[in-house]
Amino acid sequence: MPDPNPQALDFLSTRRSRPAKTLTAPAPDRAALRPLLTAALRVPDHGKLEPWRLIVLEKPALERLAALIPARAEALGIDPSKRDKAVAQYRDADLVVAVVSAPKPSEKVPQVEQLHSAACVCLSLLNAALAAGWGANWLSGWASHDAVFCREGLGLGEGESIAGLIHIGTETVPAPERPRPDVEALTEWREA
C-alpha cells in the first residue's frame, strides 16, 4: 500500500502560476533561492547526465539583457509591439532563473529526453517557488529562442538553448482563476 502525501497532492492539484508582470520585489535572496534550486534539480535524469544548468539573473543582469533586445529585434524584423513586450519582460523583472538545456553526448539517452529533463527542471523550480510562498511564472519569448541573443547576452554555448525563464518574486495580486483541462476528455483508458 502506498504512503500518501495528501498535502503535496493538494498543492499540485491547486497550484497556479502568477503572471510575471504582477510580480515585484522583494525576490528571494541567494539564501532563500538555494533550496529552491536544489529542489528544482531533483528531476528525472536518465543516465545521470545533468543535461541542464541554471543562470540566476538578478536586476542588473536583467536590465543589461533588456537593453540588448531593441538591436536584436531590429536585426530580425520583429514587430515593435513584440520588441517592447520582450524589453519589459526583462526590464521589469527582479529575479529570473534561466534554465538552460545543455544536452550531453550519449548513446543511451536521446537529446529529446535530455530536453524533457530540462523542462522538468523548469516545472520543479516553478513549483518549488510557489510552495515556498513566492509568486512565480515560466516564460520564454522570441528573444530566448534567438541564438545570437542567447550567446551574446547569456553566454550559451554550442548546442545549448533556453528551456524556460522562471520569474520569481512577491505576488501583488491573487492569481487569476482560469479553466483547467478536462481530464476525462484528454485521457484514454486501455485494458488490453
Report the number of distinct structural domains present in the chain: 1
Res 169 pLDDT > 90: yes
b/e burial code for range 55-91 (CB count within 10 A of at least 16 → b): ebbeeebbeebbebbeebbeeeebeeeebebbbebbe
Res 175 pLDDT > 90: no
Task: Give binding residues as ranges.
Answer: 15-17, 42, 46, 138-140
pLDDT tens per residue across span 95-146: 999 999 999 999 999 999 999 999 999 999 999 999 999 999 999 999 999 9
Over the chain, what is the mean pLDDT?
96
How far apart (Å, rounded) are the C-alpha atoms in residues 117 and 155?
21
Looking at the domain assignment, is residue 8 inside a domain? no
Task: Give binding residues for FMN as ranges.
Answer: 15-17, 42, 46, 138-140
Looking at the domain assignment, is residue 49 inside a domain? yes
More confident residue, 126 or 16: 126
pLDDT tens per residue across span 47-95: 999 999 999 999 999 999 999 999 999 999 999 999 999 999 999 999 9
How far apart (Å, rounded) are the C-alpha atoms in residues 93 and 54?
17
> DSSP characters for 20-88?
GGGEES----HHHHHHHHHHHT-S--GGG---EEEEEEEHHHHHHHHHHHHHHHHHHT--HHHHHHHHH
Looking at the domain assignment, is residue 188 inside a domain? no
In CATH, what number is assigned to the domain containing residue 62? 3.40.109.10
How far apart (Å, rounded) are the C-alpha atoms in residues 65 and 89?
10
- Which residues make beta-bridge pairs with 162? 100
Looking at the domain assignment, is residue 76 inside a domain? yes
Q: What's the pLDDT at 177? A: 82
Res 8 pLDDT > 90: yes
Q: What's the pLDDT at 155? A: 98
Q: What's the pLDDT at 80? A: 97
Looking at the domain assignment, is residue 106 inside a domain? yes
pTM of the complete model beyond 0.85: yes
Looking at the domain assignment, is residue 186 inside a domain? no
Domain span at 160? 20-171
